[in-house]
Chain A
Amino acid sequence: NAGVMQNPRHLVRRRGQEARLRCSPMKGHSHVYWYRQLPEEGLKFMVYLQKENIIDESGMPKERFSAEFPKEGPSILRIQQVVRGDSAAYFCASSPPGLALTGEQYFGPGTRLTVT
């Protein structure tokens, strides 16, 4: 059973460009979470999605950031008009339907975004 997959692993963007980060949850998992980790800091919750639904986006900046988890395909975190402050590691986690309320989440390897 493959784990949570994320791509790309490293992404370099110039200021003003768009960044698209992809996350494929573990097989059978229908809940996806995105976190941002700044250097030497903890993980900050951004958004929680189920298939075709955003459940909680309280941690996501109101502007430039969006997320989706379509019926088919991976979840995508999109950052428009990136700025240097967006440079961070972005982690995706997933959990199966039956465990959504217990909190168990399994993390992907992360995408390290560098904005130049």
Chain B
Amino acid sequence: GENVEQHPSTLSVQEGDSAVIKCTYSDSASNYFPWYKQELGKRPQLIIDIRSNVGEKKDQRIAVTLNKTAKHFSLHITETQPEDSAVYFCAASSGYSTLTFGKGTMLLVSP
């Protein structure tokens, strides 16, 4: 089955800096890669996703890149704000809807 590795497990940045979270996956058939943000005690919320037919997708301060050859994808957050502090999860799916999640990255943005 699919295996998703996520790094780093914790990330501390100063407000205004950029943050990068990286994930690798094992199943070359995976073609859908979402990112979820989970605040403490809350539900995971989909913030951005990318499919295997594109290499990069951007939504305001958030961008995701995908390298299918190397089987890795990354989340980039620019101009970080304290409200970006949360746990971020990457995931991969091969299209029949079962998502495999990474273990999460706790992002702390200090004012």
Binding site for B on A (CB under 8 A): 4, 31, 33, 35, 40-45, 48, 55-56, 58-59, 91, 95, 100-110
Contacts and interface: CB of A to CB of B under 8 A. Distances in A.
Contacts of A4: 43
Contacts, number: 68
A43 B97 contact: no
A42 B99 contact: no
B43 A95 contact: no
- What band does the interface of chain B fall in when counting residues whose beta carbon is under 8 Å from A? 20 to 34
A18 B1 CA distance: 31
A44 to B, nearest CB: 7
Interface string B26-55: 000000101010000011111001010000
A74 B93 CA distance: 25
A95 to B, nearest CB: 7
A91 B36 CA distance: 13
A91 B42 contact: no
Given A107-B45, A109-B43, A101 B95 contact: yes
